[in-house]
Structures are given as structure tokens and as C-alpha cells.
Copies of this chain bind each other. A is one copy, B any other.
Amino acid sequence: MPQGKVESVPDDGLTTRQRRRQHVLAVHTGQGKGKSTAAFGMALRAWSAGWPIAVYQFVKSPKWKVGEETALKALGETGKGGPVVWQKMGEGWSWIQRPGTERDHASEAAEGWEQIKRDLAAEAHRFYVLDEFTYPMKWGWVDVADVVATLRDRPGNQHVVITGRDAHPDLIELADLVTDMTKVKHPMDAGRKGQQGIEW
């Protein structure tokens, strides 16, 4: 609200109903807060719609996003909405059972992306959050052209949200929905540190 209005009708031969059922690729980029947070907020709607949700976190962090993980998993466990799978790079993707094996971040990111490709091909989930996935794309750990082609050609009605700064122009071009979270003011500018419940 205010409600969005359709500004033009595309000449794609689809009915409104068909167009409504098209899958969405969303990108949350920019220097401000709220990129991942809004993706997890979208997951609330997806959960309510009963959609299977998968979150892939692509950048190792000492704090991760423990609050969101706890909450979304708790929602998944209620059984009242969609199930939730949460994968964290750097603590070892759960499908790779090699405890104690040290791998470099680049190959670990590439392994994560390969799993996502398998999931998309199998239509394993309905709503995907690829959290901070812009960074492995930026750093050359995954191939941008491969990402773009895979997402463009993904089957069925699978929605994907990608977060992170400096989204690649080809990803922006492909995406249906792109929001730049622009920093206007941040507590850290005033010397304040993050706090539990707000920052993680």
C-alpha cells in the first residue's frame, strides 16, 4: 500500500493468471541494511503459502543469522506451513559428510551452487534464499553465466531471492524484482555496535 498498478501489459501471449504464476527472481542489493532481512521476511509469506523453503548461506560468519535460522526452523517444525531447510557454508553443507575436512571457501561455494542446481532441476523446493550469493559470484567462485542460464531456465514455479552487495549486472538484468537497500543512516556511524535481537 499504496497498491501497485500494472503499468503496461506485456505482449507475451500469457493470460493474467499464467503471468501471476510465473516464478520470481528477486535481488536485494545495495549498501544498506535489510537485504537478507527482507528475504527472510518474504520467507514468512512463502511459509504461510505452504511452500517448501530452502535457505543457503554463502558467506561464513562468526554470528551467522542465528535468530532468523532459529525462527524459520521453528516455523517449519510447526507443520502448519511449508517445511524449512537451512544450509550454512563454512559449517559444512549438510549433504557433504566429511567432518574435519578443511576446504577452501571457493570450492565450498562452488559445491553449494552445484547443490542448488540439483535442487532446482529436481524442483526440490518452492522458495529459495541464496543469502550473500552475490559475493561468490563477484569473487569468481561460481560462474556468472552458469548462474544466469540456470536461473533463467529453471523448471516449474520456483522462486529465488538472492541477497548481497554489488549484484552482477547480468543478474540484475535477469531478475524480475530488484531492490537496492540504500543506507541513509546506521547506528555504527555513531559509534554504536550491533546488539543481539537487532543485528543477529
Contact = CB atoms under 8 A, between A and B. Distances in A.
A56 interface: no
Copies per complex? 2
Interface of A: 1-10, 16, 19-22, 24, 26-30, 32-34, 36-42, 44-49, 51, 59, 61, 65-68, 70-72, 74-75, 78, 80-81, 126-127, 132, 135, 159, 165, 172, 175-200
Given A41-B41, A45-B200, A179 B19 contact: no
Contacts of A126: 197
Contacts of A9: 191
B182 A19 contact: no
A50 B183 CA distance: 28
